[in-house]
Chains A and B, each alone.
Chain A
Amino acid sequence: QKEVEQNSGPLSVPEGAIASLNCTYSDRGSQSFFWYRQYSGKSPELIMFIYSNGDKEDGRFTAQLNKASQYVSLLIRDSQPSDSATYLCAVQETSGSRLTFGEGTQLTVNP
């Protein structure tokens, strides 16, 4: 089992819809969870981080964390074509050192 798994893509949604991206992790003691966005040919950029159970909202983005179920998700409301990118889930391991990334989910928002 991979340490961090993301829902298989690619994911395609119409403009204005809600895009839902999911991620599960294997290390129950993981403490920190991040969502990065990566445009084609570019480096990843941080869009959200969450440390506590529950929801965290930032503009059109909402991160949701459920440590008991070991999953973290990212919702993008009112999706825009500019949101089309690969979204990477990253989890901090218990040791507090390595940050492990999932394979990424490619999102396409169609105008």
Chain B
Amino acid sequence: GAGVSQSPSNKVTEKGKDVELRCDPISGHTALYWYRQSLGQGLEFLIYFQGNSAPDKSGLPSDRFSAERTGGSVSTLTIQRTQQEDSAVYLCASSLKPGSGGPNSPLHFGNGTRLTVT
């Protein structure tokens, strides 16, 4: 597609339920990122995938959060047993693989999934 696609755009769930958020990156982009943005706050890094390398999961806030990327393309972020503090906008971004020894390419963001836990 032309841009990063995220679904659903909005998700309302009850506390304790599991949710899955989907991200379809720009074709040819090997790097994929998940960030979380609470109201009025900056972007909180969650996880980063680069090609076939082991993902950088250092930003995941708890073991209720997990993410996978199948076939080096689509990614799914799963939040188990959701809590009210999980309410936020979840942003996915993709970029080209940086050149060997070179800097990252700029990120292209999707429109985000607004998650509300009631």
Binding site for B on A (CB under 8 A): 31-32, 34, 42-46, 49, 51, 88, 90, 92, 95-104
The prevalent SS among residues of A at the interface is loop
Q: List 6 A-B contacts (CB under 8 A).
A: A34-B106, A44-B43, A92-B103, A97-B48, A99-B104, A103-B41
For this complex, into which size category does the number of interface residues on chain B fall?
A: 20 to 34
Which chain B residues have a beta carbon within 8 Å of chain A's beta carbons?
A: 33, 35, 41-43, 45, 48, 50, 56, 58-59, 91, 98, 103-104, 106-112
Alpha-carbon gap, A42 to B106, bound state (A): 18
Q: What does DSSP make chain B's interface, helix, strand, loop or mixed? A: loop
CB distance from A32 to the nearest CB of B (A): 3
- Do the beta carbons of B104 and A92 come within 8 Å of each other? yes
- Give the distance in Å from the alpha carbon of A44 to the alpha carbon of B20 in the complex: 22
